[in-house]
Chain A
């Protein structure tokens, strides 16, 4: 059974800092990995999708990498801003087209 882990559960950083959010998964037989952002009381917004054949994807200040063999992904946020404060979830798409989610990392960027 696929398990996705995100540690730590919460992170607080000062504005302007570059930061890395980690995600690990137990079964490397995945089709893709997706990073989402969730604001309090809101739904999930897709940030980046990395196919299993890719190593990384970039969107603006965000860069996500994937090392399928080691079961790891990272989300890099450059020059963090208070507006980046949210919960970030990673999800892997494996057998039967199911997305398995981590529990998320709650990020707080202090002004």
Chain B
């Protein structure tokens, strides 16, 4: 398997624009996580899905952020409208069965810059 695949790798957008980040988890993994990494706050969990169903979105910072998982092989994280403070690296991760017992595998991340 090619691992967790994220696209795009880099995104530069203007404030107010809509941004969509994409993630393809490892085939067979039934948990998917979205994280954000900044220098100030480190890695923070935004939302996670189990079997395509959102389980916990308490880390989503504002209503401007939304995430979907229409099927087992694809998820999106959307920011609308984007703001400069959303600039960060966004990671997607997936795991198999119960993440309490198995390791999480991370994608390469999407570096988002909002100007």
Decide: B103 and A51 in contact? CB cutoff 8 A.
Answer: no
What are the interface flags for B21-33 relative to A under an 8 Å C-beta threshold, 1 for contact and 0 otherwise?
0000000000101
Cα distance A96–B22 in the bound complex, in angstroms: 24
Taking a contact as CB atoms under 8 Å apart, the answer to whether B108 and A42 are in contact is yes
Q: B91 touching A43 by the CB < 8 A rule?
A: yes
Interface range on chain B: under 10, 10 to 19, 20 to 34, or 35 or more?
20 to 34
Check B48 against A98 for contact (C-beta < 8 Å): yes
Kindly state whether residue B100 has any CB partner on chain A within 8 Å: yes
Main secondary structure of the interface of A (DSSP, over half): strand
Q: Are B101 and A43 in touch, CB under 8 angstroms?
A: no
Cα of A31 to Cα of B101 in the assembled complex, Å: 7
Question: CB distance A46 to B103 under 8 Å?
Answer: yes
The distance in angstroms between the C-alpha atoms of A98 and B93, with both chains bound, is: 12
Tell me the bound Cα distance from A34 to B101 in angstroms: 11
Min Cβ gap A62→B in Å is: 14
Give A residues with C-beta under 8 Å from B.
Answer: 31-32, 34, 36, 41-46, 49, 51, 89, 91, 93, 96-104
Binding site for A on B (CB under 8 A): 4, 31, 33, 42-45, 48, 55-56, 91, 93, 98-109, 111
Given A41-B111, A101-B44, A103-B42, 15 further pairs, Cβ under 8 A: A31-B101, A34-B103, A43-B107, A43-B109, A45-B106, A46-B104, A46-B105, A46-B106, A91-B43, A97-B55, A97-B98, A97-B100, A98-B48, A99-B45, A99-B99
